[in-house]
Structure 1
Amino acid sequence: MKTLKHLALCLAAAFIATGCSNDENEPVNNAVKKGTPATFNMTISNGANTRTSTNSGRVITWRAGDEVGIFAIGGSGEPQINCKYVYNAETLMWEAKTLDNGIMLEEGANYTFYAYYPYTDNVKAAKAAILNVYSNQSITQEGGNSNYDLSDVLLSQSTVDSYNNGEITLNYTHAYAMVEVLIAGDKIGEDGPSQVVLKNVVTDASIDLTTQEINTLGAPQDVIMARVEGDENNNTFLYRAIVPAQKMTKGSTLLEVYGVNGGKNYTFKAPENKDIAYDKGKFFRMEVMIGEVEAGIKFPGGNIDPWESTPGVNLEGEEIKVQLIKEFTGNDLTVAAKVSDLTEEGWYAFQNKADNGGVISVDNLSEATIDWNKSLKLVFTSTWNNETNKAITSNSYYVSAINYTHIGPIEIESTNGLYKITFKAKGTVTATTSIKSKCNIACVSGKERGFGIHTSANTITGNTPKSTMAGVELTSEWPEAEYTVFVNFSKVNWEMDNNKKEMVSKYSGTADLNTPSETDDLSKFHLRFYTTTNANKDNLNTVSTLEITDVKMEPYVEEKN
């Protein structure tokens, strides 16, 4: 095993310098730095000259440019604070960043050394080193170190009595915990997960280098894990993340796996009867299986020094439903008269003009079978004119509608553009004759063209897809079961209007989906809920009420046997 040293440079026995930290808030030391340059032997875990990295063996050698910070306390001078030493891979030497940054030691004096990796110039005192991990550890920085590598905080402490010009051994240990996740199974896909996320972990910590006591700081957040490249075989993929030591409470969400099993995402939780511990200096391994059996997770036993074993536990995974529609929680809806007014994500009252016959409002809900606390209501009054033999006011998707606007690119690769909408609705119609209440739905693209939409996924897919309007019949009470319609974001209707002599989208159940969606189409969508129970010569006045709630939209992947 090669020993990594900082070799003494040919420096003067003493030179004028301040402490290693150049921060203006530090006490200025105008005394002469006495002694000779220190020589360091830096190891990990009592002899190994390696540290945790992203390979399957869990260790690699120091990389060129790696930096450590060292505090030297003792001798007749001021403490030498946060001195930066950089690894030179060509000479296998640890070198002080600058001449005045090197640690000088007096022969016969007593010293205590506190060291840490990776170096940061923000560490001003050995008792309060803020050393945080990265929230995205999948990124590789210039020089070869990933954010995962730079999150692997290492600590060392050494005491020397009566220094005799010998080398100082700094043996580093891992300050934080490593979480390792093996993803396996026949439904992962050839390229593996698109992302693996460690959930609800604290990433910030303050370390007292003199005692190596660690206190976590701040609120929990998510950490994107690093993939261990080169370790993929037989549909297995390995991921790792470094976090400060902490406990995950029983039943809490531990992990999310994205982009497997035909574009599905899964979440995994801790056991309901025990906490999970990410312990200092130890690794915690999870094994996730996504295959012929339902997705599940296991915490296997193991004993790889210096990591301690953990008992095995099997848990089922739960598919994550990616929602494109947010719950409405306000008291009033923003009114929009045209598509250019729909600039932000959220719910709107779409009214093309005042006094168009429609009134849109918000009602409070408290129903045991409904998740939302609010419903959105449209009341439309249509009146017939016998003289002109047409309705004075009539409704359509562009007149008076409850509108949800989604901003952002719509992903169509993994699902071929097919999404599922579920909602609950009720309605009534007041008219001379009995008319059934109906909810119509249209989905307008970012280019103001009609996406395919229908109650049957088969209608809007296949060789001859049709329909830019879906309709469901309603009752006057909230239903126990939800209504379902499907949207095909990969196709729009776009055809010549012979009367207008221009290209338009037609909104009907028979409109052909004849044109592939373009980037601008997929930049956003406007989902419209509306009524079309308009007045006629037999019903001179109709009042249609439509009320919706619990609206959800998620990618639709047909289950394969």
Structure 2
Amino acid sequence: MKMYFKNLIFALAGALAMTACSNEMEEQLAEGSGNSGQEVKFTVGIENLSRTAVTDGEEVLKTTFVNEDAIGIFAYREGETEPAYTNVKYTYNASKSEWNSDKAITSDGTKLSYYAYYPYVDDVTDPSQLNITVSTDQASGFSKDDVLTAQNTTAEAGAENVTLSFSHAFAMVQVGIKSGLTDDTEATVTLESILPTAVVNAKAGTVGTASGEKTSIQMQKTNADKWEYRAIVPAQDIASGSKLLTIVAEGKTYAVTYSSAEGKAVSYEAGKALQITVNSLVALPKGNEVTIGGSIMDWDASTSDPGEGDVTEVPTESLDLSALEELDMETLVTKKGWTNEAEKVTGKDNLWFKRETTNGLVTYAKTEENEISMCSTGASRAYWASNSIGYHSGLMFDNTQKYNLTFEAKSKEISGGSVGVGISNSTDTSLFCISTGDVTISPKTLTDSYQSISIIFDFAKKGDSASSNTLTTSPTTSDDVKDGINIVFYNNNSSGAENTIYVKNIKLEVVK
């Protein structure tokens, strides 16, 4: 199926006007079916369909079948419970604008009732028992999930022209991210808390209660230049307090939840398209960041009561720095020390930096093997706050979790070679504690061969000072992680001789 339209607008609580359409299709049925009588021709209408492609230049919504689309038709003689024609498949030939079948439904003078559905499934024997599970990945399109049914029980006996008017069995959800919130053309939206399965009754034109395990549905982006997304799901209610959406944009993940003071659910209704508008990607304490409401016209002309939702940034669970993609020695940010506000490394940007309180004490390089090289002259020992190299991540982390920092390291000289590591909070004022105690910086003695190192940092605890290794710990708050962290490495050279430390394959992951 294909759909064209123009001037799609996501309003805060408004409706998107659509125009219903229908296609006249003559069935060209195969000869030699073994049935006598005149072949029946079908006029097929599709009510209020919103399907796939989005193209500028079309005033109205125009729905067409595409090549190789197939529908299934059942026909019953009056008074009989078994079908005279079972699951007859008609496949569309777009080049000839005709439908072909291996069978021919013919008019032999008796009265027939017709029941049809889309998309065609081979093994259907009962049109009242279509067990459908929607795809969890609709990012490339949802045509095969948009189940349609049609019934005609009023065709006259011997009718040679029969009308089938299809309607939606499931619900459409449309999500719009307000213009200007992100420039990420690869941003994704996922529907959450969805029951994916329902039994469709094509004879009655009804759908059973949604069932199955709750799952996530990746939505289709309708246009490369717009942040508008769609998915098809069985009709169901999403309870107040549930997670509605997950949005990933510009490397950050946002959870969209819905809550109602009255406990009202969000309803995805069969034959209706519900609009959800995301008004902000800035985490706020409450409300008005998501607007829910406005059934889309011609799916259903009525409107829903608008609701409110919250958008919160989801703490990151992992950080992979093994490629060192953002590390450029020519543009490496240099901070002279740590003790004054201007020299702290904070904010939402991601960047590599070095702290250089003694010029030339440690020199840094990035090797072709994606290693960080730290060469110390041996004049004095370096620390995290002086003569160190680090990465500032502007992502938000979870201050209730422990994170495992893993990396590989070696020393060019065996004697006296060791590496120090620390992770500071988002205000760059304290270090998180390692889980074994109050020691916030943990030097590791190295050899001339790479060894794997793993250190668990407890983001729930920080030192009350950043100038000592052994500290009195204090609890952290969300402010300590909301604007990122700093991971720092330093050459802990205590031998007094020149020494080079190499570090690679740096990763930080939450401890499950």
TM-score range, shorter chain: 0.5 to 0.7
Say whether the 8 Å CA contact 1:453–1:487 is kept in structure 2.
no
The alpha-carbon deviation at position 286 of structure 1 amounts to 0.9
The counterpart of 2:405, out of the listed 443, 446, 454, is 443
Matched, 1:64 2:67: yes
Partner of 2:200: 207
Partner of 2:275: 285
Inter-partner Cα distance in structure 2 for 1:67 and 1:155: 13
Partner of 1:263: 252
Change (3 A) 1:504 1:447: closer
Q: TM-score, normalised by structure 1?
A: 0.55
Partner of 1:79: 84
Change (3 A) 1:304 1:110: same
Change (3 A) 1:201 1:482: closer
The alpha-carbon deviation at position 137 of structure 1 amounts to 0.8
How many residues are treated as equivalent by the alignment?
Answer: 367
| SS class of match (2:151) | strand
Identical columns (%): 22
Partner of 2:219: 225
Show the 5 A alignment for 1:323-338.
323-324=317-318
Show the 5 A alignment for 1:504-523.
504-505=501-502, 521-522=505-506
How big is each residue's C-alpha offset from its partner over 1:411-464, in whole Å with a ceiling of 9 and x where there is no partner?
x99x75877574699xxxxxxxxxxxxxxx98332678979633256879xxxx
Specify the code of the residue in structure 2 equivalent to 1:299: I
The alpha-carbon deviation at position 160 of structure 1 amounts to 4.7
Specify the code of the residue in structure 1 equivalent to 2:246: E
The alpha-carbon deviation at position 80 of structure 1 amounts to 1.6
Specify the code of the residue in structure 2 equivalent to 1:80: Y
| SS class of match (2:122) | coil
Specify the code of the residue in structure 2 equivalent to 1:90: S
Change (3 A) 1:59 1:323: farther
Inter-partner Cα distance in structure 2 for 1:482 and 1:300: 32
The counterpart of 2:242, out of the listed 246, 249, 252, is 252
Matched, 1:93 2:98: yes
Change (3 A) 1:174 1:287: same
The alpha-carbon deviation at position 227 of structure 1 amounts to 0.8
Specify the code of the residue in structure 2 equivalent to 1:156: A
Specify the code of the residue in structure 1 equivalent to 2:170: Y
Say whether the 8 Å CA contact 1:176–1:242 is kept in structure 2.
yes
Specify the code of the residue in structure 2 equivalent to 1:201: I
Change (3 A) 1:452 1:194: farther
The alpha-carbon deviation at position 283 of structure 1 amounts to 0.9
Inter-partner Cα distance in structure 2 for 1:247 and 1:269: 12
| SS class of match (2:120) | coil
The counterpart of 1:39, out of the listed 38, 41, 50, is 41
Specify the code of the residue in structure 1 equivalent to 2:191: L
Change (3 A) 1:292 1:204: closer
Partner of 1:118: 119
Specify the code of the residue in structure 2 equivalent to 1:87: Y
The alpha-carbon deviation at position 154 of structure 1 amounts to 0.6
Specify the code of the residue in structure 2 equivalent to 1:53: T
Stretch moving more, 76-85 or 116-125: 76-85
Inter-partner Cα distance in structure 2 for 1:132 and 1:421: 35
The alpha-carbon deviation at position 37 of structure 1 amounts to 3.0
Inter-partner Cα distance in structure 1 for 2:217 and 2:203: 29
Specify the code of the residue in structure 2 equivalent to 1:133: V
Matched, 1:454 2:454: no
| SS class of match (2:153) | strand
Q: TM-score, normalised by structure 2?
A: 0.60
Which runs of 5 or more residues in structure 1 are unaligned?
16-32, 140-145, 326-411, 426-440, 461-466, 506-514, 528-550, 553-561
Specify the code of the residue in structure 2 equivalent to 1:52: R
Inter-partner Cα distance in structure 1 for 2:406 and 2:283: 40
| SS class of match (1:218) | coil
Change (3 A) 1:475 1:275: same
Matched, 1:243 2:233: yes
Larger Rg: 1
The alpha-carbon deviation at position 191 of structure 1 amounts to 2.2
Specify the code of the residue in structure 1 equivalent to 2:75: A
Inter-partner Cα distance in structure 1 for 2:132 and 2:427: 55
CA-based RMSD of the aligned residues comes to: 4.3
Change (3 A) 1:493 1:42: farther
The alpha-carbon deviation at position 200 of structure 1 amounts to 0.6
Specify the code of the residue in structure 1 equivalent to 2:222: V
Change (3 A) 1:172 1:161: closer
Partner of 1:130: 131
Change (3 A) 1:70 1:482: closer
Change (3 A) 1:324 1:171: same
Inter-partner Cα distance in structure 2 for 1:267 and 1:300: 15
Inter-partner Cα distance in structure 1 for 2:314 and 2:190: 13
Say whether the 8 Å CA contact 2:315–2:396 is kept in structure 1.
no
Inter-partner Cα distance in structure 2 for 1:108 and 1:420: 73
Partner of 1:272: 261
Specify the code of the residue in structure 1 equivalent to 2:193: N
The alpha-carbon deviation at position 497 of structure 1 amounts to 11
Say whether the 8 Å CA contact 1:109–1:161 is kept in structure 2.
no
The alpha-carbon deviation at position 38 of structure 1 amounts to 2.8
Show the 5 A alignment for 1:45-444.
45=47, 51-55=50-54, 60-74=63-77, 79-96=84-101, 99=102, 102-139=103-140, 146=141, 148-164=142-158, 166-186=160-180, 188-192=181-185, 194-215=187-208, 216-230=210-224, 232=226, 237-260=227-250, 263-273=252-262, 274-290=264-280, 294=284, 296-301=289-294, 304-307=297-300, 308-324=302-318, 416=393, 420=397, 422=399, 443-444=405-406
